[in-house]
Structure 1
Amino acid sequence: MLNKSYASAAILSLLIPVSQAADTDRVDATDTLPDAKPGECYSKVIVPAVFETVTEEVLVKPETSTVEIIPATFDVQEKEVLVKEAYTKLVAVPAVYRTETEEVEVSPARNEWVTRLDRRGIPASPALLAAAKTNGVDLDVAQPNQCFSEFYIPAKFETTEKEVLVKEEAEQITVAEAQYEQTEETVMVKASTKDKVLTEAEYEVIEEQVMVEPAKAVWKKGTGPITRIDNSTGDIMCLVQIPAKYKTIKKTVLKSAAAIQEVEVPAESIVVPVSRLVSDSTADRTTLPAEFSKVEVTNKVADAAFIWRNAEVAGEGTATGNTICLKEIPAVFTSVKKQVIDTPATVREEKVPAEYKTVQVKNVSAEAEEKRTIIPAVFDTVEREEKKSSERLEWRRVLCETNMTRDTNKKIQQVLKDAGYYNGPIDGSIGRGTLASVEKYQKDNDLPTGGLTIQMLEKMGIM
């Protein structure tokens, strides 16, 4: 059974219909049988196509350029702008007064007849004085401090008002300020220039498929109706077409190039408020009248009447008990303060200088420029497989019933198990599990498939 199982595996390639082989690019090199030696076995095997991995640079972003705008530069200068004209200002200097004190007589000095010369004396009555005068007492020639006995009739007085100057007439000066009208003046602070505006380039990302592995045909085990060679095999080989493999890459392509536009930048101005003189300062003079104060003045309007006798002269008759004495009463004065102009009011002229404002004016010293920088293209390295030789169908020396031993089979199973391809028992029986492991090992090592080739045994180190 061991040899029959292997024999069926060795001739699997012969079971493939000729119509399937014709649909691939496989090269059939089995027209001539190999020159075999006695005891050697050959089988038609599939020698895999040979591929070489090549790298290719793919453009993912074309060469571009960046544009840097160097702005214009300006020279800054200062300019004096008149904001208020010079004018003459009138300043009123008020009058300067000095205070003087004046003694005003409010009661004149007089001689008054009294009943006594001491403090207890009272004014004599007019009747007494009249009686005294009627009785030969010459009151007009009486001497001060001279006393007479009298029947007294007091004198009559009346109080009148008298105007006293307390502030002389003066002049008042009222100054009217200068009048202005507010206007505005436009001052250019930055001259017009030309600026350059950059419109950035626009890009879009597109996807492109790059073939990394071409289409190929491989032989795989399958199931289905087959032409049997003997009763020990039922396996078939199917030729499967594997499509080409592609890798999708993203590429950035230029949609619209960068552009420079020249823009006119207008001049810049500012509005400065200006005060313009409409009318100059003026002075208005007004006369202030003198000021007076009223004081009361007492004047005698009627004398007293007495019947008099000289007190030192003895006379007839009975004294009335009334005594009159001519008492000297000094005048009464009051102090009145009045303001007298010391320095008259005047007008002083003051020159007010014009007012200026310093503004900064910008003048173009260098126009705006553009600076371009080239950004190199970007490439991506893509690996793809390129076929160097097609798959071939050849006669190769294999193990067969005449040269296969159980010990060799165990060695094959052990190598496959050590390499991780086989997990069955090491019993020297080549069954389906061993053959499947053999085929996977052959494909992974780019060895011919379709039998236990001597080339595989040499790779395993068995022969």
Structure 2
Amino acid sequence: MKSSYFLSSLLLAMTLPNTPSFAAETSTMDNTCQSQVLLPALFHPSTENITVYEASTRYSTTPVQMGYGERKVKVADAYVIYETVPATFSEVTETIEVERERVEVTTLPATYRTETKRIKVKDATQRWNPICPAVATNEQAVPAHCLLSVPAEYTEVTREVVDMPARTVKTIIPAPTETITRKVVVQPAKVIRKEIPAEYRMVKLAKVDQAPKVTSTQQNARAQAIPSQQTLRPERIIQRPALCEATVNPATILKLQQRLQQGGYYQGTPDGVLGPKTRAALTHFQEDNQLASGAITLEALQKLQLQ
């Protein structure tokens, strides 16, 4: 679609009667400024031969040819081994005393009981009644009321009385025993002598019937033509006259969008606004036509037949 852009733009210019008036309008209403733009690099198609397979020497080997035979070879000498037959035992269970029987004597101390006993400490007596007058000696007897009885005096004594006297007790401690199991030799150990004969084996022997051979062949190099681009001119920043974006007429932008849309660069509805979509479409058009990009240059307008 882009390759046929110039033919379609030429036909469009023939069918648009207002193209000259628009060119006149841009020249009278839009101001031009010197803008810094990027002039793209210029390349020339070329072909470069690249070696894809270097020359080398290939070697091939004919393996060695072997012949085989057999030979009886002793692989183990004869020898004598001695086998030990261990002794056999039987188990005998016995009960043995581990300590002798003994008599232990235990001494038991005396036991006491407590008892209380009443003891008379003073006999009963008589004392003279102080209210009685004196009795003459010639009188026959002393009146009974003149003698007062004084009872005997007692006291209580607490004492420890032997209830059971001290004694000794004999106790017989029986001898403790332990049951043990011991092994008794039934048949003693013995040694048996055994001769082991030598061992032989048939071994396959190899010999070289034909030695290996190495042959070499030369492999030629191979090259491939690779399409390339030869740089005729590097990209650089230059100054070119362009429309001043601060004062550009929206009608100019609208016409620019329409021409870019006709060439397949601008996607969307033309609105006369210089936005990212318009800048990207213009840059794409300038790169495809080897024009300087970065501004609405006059040469781009001329290429679009807008000036």
TM-score when normalising by structure 1: 0.24
Write 1 or 2 for the structure with the bigger share of helix. Answer: 2
TM-score when normalising by structure 2: 0.35
